[in-house]
Copies of this chain bind each other. A is one copy, B any other.
């Protein structure tokens, strides 16, 4: 078999991406060829293209790691996936190393991320190890009024905060405080609410706060309008008024900014869990011993292992996490225009590029 395919590749930092044709031969053992339905444009992609963040694969390279589609060809051992609607895990652990064998896939040193370690999802097709595939129930998807392309953002944008939430142990009756409710943090709000928590959302952008107020956040604060000390007092008051605990708050830092991290760290209470989800190279000045004095903890979260995807997909297919209000579809041929608009913060929703 030979499949005619194409991808839009990055050739240099700050240069427009260009279309590249390629052919796909019969996939190897354990591999699957996915005809791509959609690929989400993530902040990480912008970092690669505009900021020169280091890529593991040499250029030219198609970016894109939030991918959904349909399996159209499989290699030996992956035949069961043929024809299935799938989401591709944004980070695919090797599955074979000592770390993977011990269930530590997030720190697998041979993990593959489409659009970084291998060719990515801004393409018509992609070949990936089948162990990175997560099946989608198309009947339930249709019942939610969703198309397969819409589900692409489940990879990364939904699953990353999902893994952080599962790792934190948050559940019914808990208080979640999400700092930074953009592409990832907005879903962190919905994930925490879907898991039964009462959610407070904090951001500096009123439009984002208004959006999450309609989808999961019980209370919002604009960090520009309230100082750290008053914010903590206001949250204590909120917990008191709502019969929630003044201890063991679950804080999710999703802003990936030093200011957001300062805010998040300042909200530590006794037994608190601070999940570090956002990334920034900036440093922050912290009293590390507060973790000791509060018997609190800070948990870093990297991606999401494929075994947790089913749980996240279920929440979306059950309608407990809404994706449609936060995405907009565009043709893949508009990739350069859409990247520029995203880079200029002109998009209100996450863009999904469809071939």
Cα–Cα distance between A294 and B294 once the two chains are bound (Å): 24
Judged by a CB distance under 8 angstroms, whether A292 is at the interface is yes
Chain B: minimal CB distance from A307 (Å): 15
Cα–Cα distance between A248 and B293 once the two chains are bound (Å): 24
- Binding site of A, secondary structure by majority: helix, strand, loop or mixed? loop
Query: Would A280 and B285 count as touching, CB distance under 8 A?
Result: no
Tell whether A261 pairs with B288 under 8 Å between CB atoms, given A296-B300, A298-B298, A300-B294: yes
Query: Would A107 and B297 count as touching, CB distance under 8 A?
Result: no
Of the candidates B106, B282, B286, B293, which one forms a contact with A279 in the assembled complex, judged by CB atoms under 8 Å apart?
B293
Interface residues on A, range: 35 or more
Which parts of A201-247 form the interface with B (CB within 8 Å)?
247
| Most chain B CB within a 10 A radius of its CB, from A279, A286, A289, A294 | A289
Query: Would B270 and A291 count as touching, CB distance under 8 A?
Result: no
Query: Would B285 and A293 count as touching, CB distance under 8 A?
Result: no
Query: Would A287 and B281 count as touching, CB distance under 8 A?
Result: yes
Judged by a CB distance under 8 angstroms, whether A256 is at the interface is yes
Cα–Cα distance between A297 and B282 once the two chains are bound (Å): 18
Cα–Cα distance between A265 and B293 once the two chains are bound (Å): 18
Query: Would A295 and B107 count as touching, CB distance under 8 A?
Result: yes
Q: Contacts of A107 on B, CB cut-off 8 Å?
A: 247-248, 270-271, 294-295
Query: Would A297 and B294 count as touching, CB distance under 8 A?
Result: no
Chain B: minimal CB distance from A300 (Å): 3
Q: Contacts of A271 on B, CB cut-off 8 Å?
A: 99, 104, 106-107
CB<8 Å pairs between A and B, sample of 11: A99-B247, A276-B289, A276-B292, A281-B287, A281-B289, A284-B286, A290-B300, A294-B300, A295-B300, A295-B302, A297-B299
Question: What are the 4 A-B residue pairs with the smallest beta carbon separation, nearest first?
Answer: A291-B300, A295-B302, A107-B270, A292-B300
